[in-house]
C-alpha cells in the first residue's frame, strides 16, 4: 500500500517525524500542525512543542536533547539538537519468525575446501607481509591475471592484498597482534583457494610468523631480498603460482547448506532513511539466514554506541552481554585518550542526509542485526565460529570494519548506503543496498537492490528482506555483484592500525 503522505512516524510516542520527500513550509503534517520551514527528505520535524533540554524521541528512543525551544512543525537537526547519552529501557522486540523447513533445506553452489570449510569464490591471494612488498605484490597479481588466469576457468582471479603496515612498529603489543591476526585470517580465508605471501626480508612482520608451507602446498611464501630483487621476485612468483593453479584451478562448485554462509553486515554513507529502509530490510534477511543456521556478523562498535542496550537485551547469556559491555567501555576510554567523542562519528554526509547525533545513527545502524538473539561477541579479526547473529568489535570506518569481518571468515559482505558509498572487499563478494530510490536511480550501476520502496509503501521490510536473502544465496553461488563487475576490492583491504609508529 502506497504511503500517500510525504512523512513517516516510526514509533508510537515519537515526537518527531521523518520526511520521505521535500515538504514545503506551511504543509499540514498533523492535526493543527504545519511545517514552519522547508524539510528535506530524510530530515526530521517536530510533531509537538519540545521545551529546551527536552528529549527528542525517534524509533521510540531518545536521540538527544534540544538546545533551544522547538515548536511543532520546526526542523529538528544539528542547529537545535545535541548529543546527550540518554538510554531508554530496551523494549522487548518481537522474536524473528522461525525458519521454515524449506529455508533450512536451502543450499548454495559453493566450493568445498580440503579442511571442510565452504567458499563462495575461488581466488588466489597475493598477500604482502609489509608495505615494502606492496608494489611487487601488485605487479605479481597483474602479471598473473594477464598470463595465467586465461588458462584456468576455475579460478576467479589473483587478488593483491596490500597495506601500509608491517614495519616501523613494535613486534609486541596490540598493533602487531591485530595486524598478524588480520593477515593470518586472510591467508586461511576459504575464498582463497591458494595464497602466495610476499615479504621484503628485514621487516618486523616476518614471514616465519605465518608458518612454513611445504612444496606443493597451496599456501606459499618468499622474501624479495632472497629472490634477488623486485623483477626476479615477480618471475619467481609466476613459477610458484603455476604450481598453485594446478592444485586449485580444477575446483568446481557443489551444493552446500546455507548454514555455511557467513555475511558481514556493513553500512556506510548513511542517511535519514538508512534506519527506516535498508538497514531493517537487511536485518530481516539476516534473521532468515540466522534461523536457517547461517551467520551474520554485526560490527562497527562506534556506530552501535547509544543503542548497545538494545543488542545487549538479546544476548543469549550474561557472559555474551558482558563481553559487549567490555567493548563499549574500551571505546569510551579510547576516544577520551585521543581527545575525541563518540558523537563526533556522524560525518558531514550523514548530517546532510538527515542524521544528527550518534544515538540516532546507532539506533538505525543496529537494525542491520534484525531481531535475532546475539550468540557471541568477537574481537577484531578473530575467527568467527558461532552461528546466528554475532558481533565483532571494529571501528565504524567501513574499509577497516569490513577487513576485520573478512579476516574473521565472512565469505560475503552486505553493504547498505544512503549517500552512495562505493566499496568492494575481495575475496568476499560485496553487494550494495540503497536506502532511498533517488540514490538507486542516480547510481544504479553500483547498487544491487533499491530499498527506498519501503518508504513509499511499495514494499514491506519483510518482502525486501526476502529479496535480499535470495540475493545472498545467488551471490554465494557465483552471481557477480555490481561492485565485483566494476572491479572493486583490490584497494579496500585496510587493517585496523593500533599502536605507535616507531
pLDDT single digits (tens) 210-241: 875 544 468 899 999 999 999 999 999 999 99
Predicted TM-score of the model (pTM) = 0.93
Nearest C-alpha neighbor of 137 from the set 113, 164, 119: 164
CA 452 to chain centre: 19
Q: What are the extents of the domains in the chain?
A: 7-82, 123-248, 255-486
Q: Which residue has the cell 540514490?
A: 439
Q: Count CB-CB contacts under 10 A for residue 197.
A: 24
Share of the chain above pLDDT 90, in %: 77
CA distances, 18 to each of 13, 77, 140, 430, 464 (Å): 14, 11, 51, 29, 20
Task: Kindly report, residue by residue over 42-87, the tens digit of the pLDDT.
Answer: 999 999 999 999 999 998 888 889 999 999 999 999 999 998 776 6
Please name the CATH architecture into which domain 7-82 falls.
Roll (2.30)
Taking residues 440-454, what's their average pLDDT?
97
Please name the CATH architecture into which domain 123-248 falls.
3-Layer(aba) Sandwich (3.40)
Report d(CA 193, CA 190) in Å as an integer. 7
User: What is the dihedral angle through the alpha carbons of 486, 384, 186, 195, rounded to the nearest 10 degrees?
Assistant: -100
Q: Which helix (H) or strand (E) holds 61?
A: strand 61-66
Report d(CA 414, CA 274) in Å as an integer. 14
DSSP 304: T
Amino acid at each position: 500500500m502506497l504511503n500517500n503522505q510525504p512523512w513517516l512516524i516510526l514509533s508510537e510516542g515519537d515526537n518527531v517525524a521523518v520526511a520521505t520527500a521535500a515538504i514545503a513550509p506551511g504543509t499540514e503534517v498533523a492535526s493543527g500542525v504545519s511545517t514552519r520551514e522547508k524539510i528535506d527528505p530524510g530530515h526530521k520535524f517536530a510533531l509537538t512543542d519540545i521545551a529546551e533540554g527536552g528529549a527528542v524521541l525517534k524509533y521510540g528512543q531518545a536521540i538527544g536533547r534540544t538546545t533551544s525551544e522547538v515548536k511543532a512543525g520546526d526542523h529538528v537537526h544539528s542547529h537545535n539538537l545535541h548529543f546527550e547519552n540518554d538510554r531508554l529501557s530496551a523494549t522487548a522486540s518481537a522474536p524473528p519468525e522461525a525458519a521454515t523447513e524449506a529455508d533450512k533445506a536451502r543450499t548454495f553452489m559453493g566450493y568445498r575446501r580440503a579442511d571442510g570449510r565452504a567458499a563462495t569464490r575461488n581466488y588466489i591471494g597475493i598477500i604482502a607481509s609489509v608495505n615494502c612488498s606492496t608494489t611487487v605484490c601488485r605487479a605479481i597479481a597483474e602479471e598473473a591475471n594477464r598470463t595465467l588466469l586465461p588458462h584456468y576457468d576455475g579460478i576467479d582471479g589473483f587478488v593483491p592484498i596490500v597495506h601500509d603496515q608491517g614495519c616501523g612498529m613494535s613486534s609486541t603489543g596490540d598493533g602487531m597482534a591485530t595486524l598478524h591476526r588480520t593477515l593470518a585470517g586472510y591467508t586461511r580465508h576459504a575464498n582463497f583457494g591458494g595464497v602466495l605471501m610476499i615479504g621484503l626480508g628485514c621487516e618486523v612482520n616476518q614471514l616465519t610468523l605465518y608458518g612454513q608451507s611445504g612444496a606443493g602446498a597451496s599456501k606459499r611464501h618468499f622474501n624479495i631480498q632472497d629472490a634477488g630483487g623486485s623483477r626476479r621476485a615477480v618471475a619467481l612468483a609466476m613459477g610458484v603460482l603455476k604450481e598453485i593453479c594446478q592444485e586449485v584451478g580444477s575446483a568446481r562448485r557443489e551444493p552446500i547448506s546455507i548454514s555455511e554462509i557467513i555475511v558481514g553486515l556493513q553500512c556506510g554513507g548513511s542517511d535519514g532513511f538508512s534506519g527506516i529502509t535498508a538497514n531493517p530490510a537487511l536485518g530481516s534477511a539476516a534473521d532468515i539466514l540466522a534461523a536457517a543456521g547461517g551467520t551474520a556478523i554485526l560490527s562497527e562498535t562506534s556506530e552501535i554506541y547509544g543503542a548497545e542496550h538494545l543488542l545487549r537485551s538479546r544476548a543469549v547469556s550474561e557472559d555474551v552481554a558482558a563481553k559487549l559491555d567490555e567493548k563499549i567501555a574500551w571505546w569510551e576510554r579510547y576516544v577520551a585518550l585521543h581527545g575525541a567523542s563518540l558523537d563526533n562519528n556522524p560525518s558531514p554526509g550523514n548530517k546532510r542526509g538527515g542524521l544528527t547525533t550518534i544515538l540516532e545513527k546507532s539506533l538505525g545502524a543496529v537494525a542491520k542485526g534484525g531481531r535475532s538473539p546475539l550468540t557471541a561477541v568477537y574481537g577484531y579479526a578473530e575467527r568467527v565460529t558461532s552461528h546466528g547473529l554475532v558481533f565483532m568489535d571494529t571501528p565504524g570506518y567501513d574499509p577497516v570494519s569490513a577487513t576485520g569481518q573478512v579476516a574473521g571468515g565472512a565469505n560475503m559482505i552486505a553493504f547498505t548506503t544512503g549517500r552512495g558509498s562505493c566499496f568492494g572487499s575481495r575475496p568476499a563478494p560485496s553487494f550494495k543496498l540503497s536506502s532511498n530510490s533517488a540514490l538507486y536511480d542516480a547510481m544504479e550501476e553500483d547498487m544491487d537492490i533499491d530499498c527506498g520502496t519501503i518508504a513509499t509503501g511499495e514494499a514491506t521490510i519483510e518482502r525486501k528482506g526476502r529479496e535480499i536473502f535470495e540475493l545472498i544465496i545467488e551471490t554465494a553461488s557465483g552471481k557477480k555483484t555490481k561492485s565485483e563487475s566494476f572491479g572493486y576490492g583490490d584497494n579496500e583491504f585496510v587493517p585496523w592500525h593500533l599502536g605507535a609508529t616507531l
